[in-house]
């Protein structure tokens, strides 16, 4: 197992510059988002006592927490031709396609504050590297989301206040190469041939199973879309020469993100959104990311393997004794993959809301000293960001730690990703 305290991969100079640019951009965001009074340079007695407050999750059985979030609300990456909110229109998306919106920034900051409320008394008010560690994929939106989350979770206090005019402190974010979200895009590089082969099969099954529903959707949507109706080809499953699933995705992106940002949708959208579009997108996203066990295994099996090892070493008392929480900033596919590994019914796994979090809490029973895991979910679209419990099929709630390892082993027992993916067969 790799060291959990120093997992940073060697990064090129350009990557470091990119990380620094994001960090300094977040400085201003953290300052503008916080309306609380500035902390003094020395903690007051009342502030010191806050560290001893017991919140809703800071119970005496709690030993370790792993939290995995999707990034905050973003702009669209596709839009249909006549969409009034084109992805490159900086009037609506000033940060650009796929980048965090103002709402996304606010929600990720508030999510960090919610974690501070949930785990105060377990996680100290003072950020200490030995107690907490953060990871992120390499995209701008996930890195910024992690920065904002950390700004809400660890506002500087006491000796950590280095600027009285800025409620922010630098906290390192390490690379997370074990999250394989980048290989999910069907139009992207073929990183794992076994995954891609199963993905192609899953998507073909999706196209066949929901062909009539897709035909009906496009019959309703195309007249308003700017696409030429004559370009819809049900034989090749294309619209204007592009795959039908990408056209479907462009409608989803064109409705979902403007609606989340409070923008009015065209009247005609009521014919297709939220339903049947949300249903079709749910099935499409499942086919693309977690359609088979192979897809689930190679998508997030390595990340879950790392999570398992973190908990296992805590159980064996070999993890740094003070390590209390590890946080990962990821994508919707990150959470979809982890939910599938946990065995959640695919019929209820839908599109993941921005800012949603999957939480795995490791507890130790006082009576028999056995370890168990509680799984929680925070819906990023909920106004109160309150966690709800998730039941793992085949395991009582809470779930015995060793039983959890057994029922998920087929997904995380990866020893050589490239060999098992048959990377040498990539074209």
Low-confidence winner among 78-82, 162-166, 216-220 (lowest mean pLDDT): 162-166
Q: 367 in a domain, yes or no?
A: yes
Q: Are 57 and 185 in contact (CB under 8 A)?
A: no
Count structural domains, the chain: 2
Cα–Cα dist 123/270, whole Å: 46
Let me know: does 173 contact 6? Beta carbons within 8 Å. Answer: no
The reported pLDDT for the residue numbered 139 is 97
Residue 423 lies in a domain: no
The residue to which tokens 């895991």 are assigned: 373
Mean pLDDT of 256-266: 97
- Is residue 81 a part of any domain in this protein? no
In a domain, 318, yes or no: yes
Q: Are residues 48 and 168 in the same domain?
A: yes
**Helix runs in 59-181, H state only:** 102-119, 140-153
Please state, in angstroms and as integers, the Cα–Cα distance from residue 123 to each residue in 64, 308, 384, following that order. Answer: 10, 21, 21
Omega cis (within 30) before 398? yes
Distance (Å) of CA 336 to CA 71, 152, 333, 351, 381: 13, 25, 5, 8, 16
Q: What is the pTM of this model?
A: 0.86
- Please give the structure tokens belonging to residue 249: 């995705």
Model pLDDT, residue 320 = 58
Tokens matching residue 174:
């390490």
Q: Which domain holds residue 102?
A: 18-75+98-183+300-412
Own/partner long-range contacts of 124-128 (Cβ < 8 Å, ≥24 apart): 124/51, 125/47, 125/50, 125/51, 125/157, 126/51, 126/157, 126/158, 126/160, 127/154, 127/156, 127/160, 127/169, 127/171, 128/322
* Beta strand residue intervals within 10-141, DSSP E: 62-70, 132-136
**Judgement on whether residues 125 and 44 belong to the same structural domain of the protein:** yes
If you average pLDDT over residues 5-33, what whole number do you get?
A: 46
Same domain, 140 and 25: yes
201 and 159 in a single domain? The answer is no
| pLDDT score at 48 | 33
Q: What is the pLDDT of residues 100-139, one digit of tens each?
A: 999 999 999 999 999 999 999 999 999 999 999 999 999 9
Whether residues 328 and 379 fall in one domain: yes
Above 60 in pLDDT, residue 73? yes
Q: Is the dihedral of CA 338, 341, 343, 349 positive or negative?
A: positive
């Amino acid at each position: 197992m790799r060291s959990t305290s120093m997992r940073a991969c060697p990064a090129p100079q350009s990557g470091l510059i990119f990380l620094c640019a994001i960090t300094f951009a977040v400085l201003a965001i953290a300052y503008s988002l916080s309306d609380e009074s500035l902390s003094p340079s020395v903690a007051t007695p009342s502030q010191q006592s806050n560290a001893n407050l017991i919140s809703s999750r800071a119970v005496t059985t709690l030993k370790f927490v792993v939290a995995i979030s999707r990034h905050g609300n973003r702009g669209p990456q596709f839009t249909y031709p006549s969409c009034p909110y084109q992805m490159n229109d900086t009037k609506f998306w000033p940060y650009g396609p796929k980048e965090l919106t103002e709402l996304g920034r606010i929600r990720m900051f508030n999510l960090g504050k919610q974690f501070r409320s949930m785990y105060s008394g377990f996680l100290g008010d003072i950020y200490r590297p030995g107690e907490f560690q953060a990871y992120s994929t390499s995209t701008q939106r996930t890195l910024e989301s992690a920065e904002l989350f950390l700004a809400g979770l660890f506002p500087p206090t006491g000796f950590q206040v280095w600027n009285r005019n800025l409620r922010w402190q630098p906290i390192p974010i390490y690379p997370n190469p074990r999250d394989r979200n980048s290989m999910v895009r069907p139009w992207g590089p073929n990183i794992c041939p076994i995954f891609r082969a199963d993905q192609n099969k899953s998507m073909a099954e999706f196209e066949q199973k929901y062909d009539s529903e897709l035909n009906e959707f496009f019959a309703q949507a195309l007249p308003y879309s700017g696409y030429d109706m004559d370009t819809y080809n049900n034989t090749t499953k294309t619209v204007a020469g592009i795959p039908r699933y990408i056209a479907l995705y462009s409608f989803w992106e064109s409705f979902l993100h403007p609606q989340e940002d409070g923008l009015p949708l065209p009247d005609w959208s009521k014919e297709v959104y939220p339903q049947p579009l949300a249903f079709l997108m749910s099935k499409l996203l499942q086919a693309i990311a977690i359609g088979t066990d192979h897809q689930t295994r190679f998508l997030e099996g390595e990340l879950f393997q790392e999570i398992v090892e973190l908990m296992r070493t805590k159980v064996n008392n070999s993890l740094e004794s003070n390590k209390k929480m590890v946080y990962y900033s990821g994508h919707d596919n990150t959470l979809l993959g982890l939910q599938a590994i946990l065995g959640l019914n695919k019929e209820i796994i839908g599109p993941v809301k921005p800012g949603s979090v999957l939480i795995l809490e490791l507890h130790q029973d006082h009576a028999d000293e056995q370890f168990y895991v509680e799984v929680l979910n925070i819906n990023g679209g909920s106004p109160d960001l309150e966690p709800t419990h998730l039941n793992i099929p085949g395991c009582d709630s809470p779930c015995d730690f060793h039983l959890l390892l057994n029922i998920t082993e087929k997904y995380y027992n990866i020893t050589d990703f490239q060999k098992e993916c048959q990377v040498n067969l990539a074209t």
